[in-house]
Amino acid sequence: MSKLVIVGTVAFDAIETPFGKTDKILGGAATYIGLSAANFNVDQAAVSVVGGDFPQEYLDLLTDRNVNIEGIEIVKDGKTFFWSGKYHNDMNSRDTLATELNVLEHFNPVVPENYRDAEIVMLGNLHPLVQQGVLDQMTKKPKLAILDTMNFWMDIALDDLISVIKNVDVITINDEEARQLTGEYSLVVAARKIHEMGPKYVVIKKGEHGALLFHDDYMFYAPALPLEEVFDPTGAGDTFAGGFAGYLASTGDISFENMKNAVIYGSTLASFCVEKFGTERMVTLKKEEVNTRLLEFKKLTQFDIELT
């Protein structure tokens, strides 16, 4: 069984959308990535930090879904990272109401010894120095290192971000972030510039408009499945990343052709994530539901065209 190392936040979120609001619930990039990757046959470990206020039941939820939590540090006298946000009516934009770093402020990741030879490393959205710290602990070069990031790190730690980008194989960012990182409006040109920074593969997420995969002069587009309702978009990008990384780890095939499948799996799992608040939908998700939705994706995207 392939090993997958995930680094990212395990956190509390408080979310408000046009459909309702929550108190503190389970969130964090590593949480969504791990729950998504749990849909595949992989041996995965999460590397993160929480405070003494983090419920044991949330840790049990992760272990029940075969996420190894040895790498989740518990700071007994500290508080867990907390984020609160309010989504606008279009669900594509949001306002951050609160960000409390708490124990994350001094987080020093420690990869469990048994996972330092992992084939796939998924660097969730964290400070670039933390992401690099995980890569530095690997005893051999991973078969594939995947990095997710956001505009916040481009604003405050651009040099560190560019430095770690040089050391990864895949970067996953959204369209706005790709434009900010490169200064290019065209996503094709932006992807080319990101290639020149180091990654062989560039995944640009476009939310409800799907995702683009670039490799050299090759390009692949996967639409997002049209949904009747989007209840809460929080964690959809991380769920996509977890499906992408989990599928690649389970197949052991990191070719461009197989990455197309990984993008479809990531998009499929993200389409479930947005159906309920927080991680609720991912916790109850069944394999049969995933397979049914994959067939819906196939019908949506495959057709024969006759040239005249």
**Closest of 68, 243, 83, 252 to residue 172, by C-alpha:** 243
232 is an active site residue: no
* Strand duo 43-51 + 67-75: pairing: parallel
Could you say which of 53, 60, 238, 304 is catalytic?
A: 238
Q: Which residues are catalytic?
A: 238
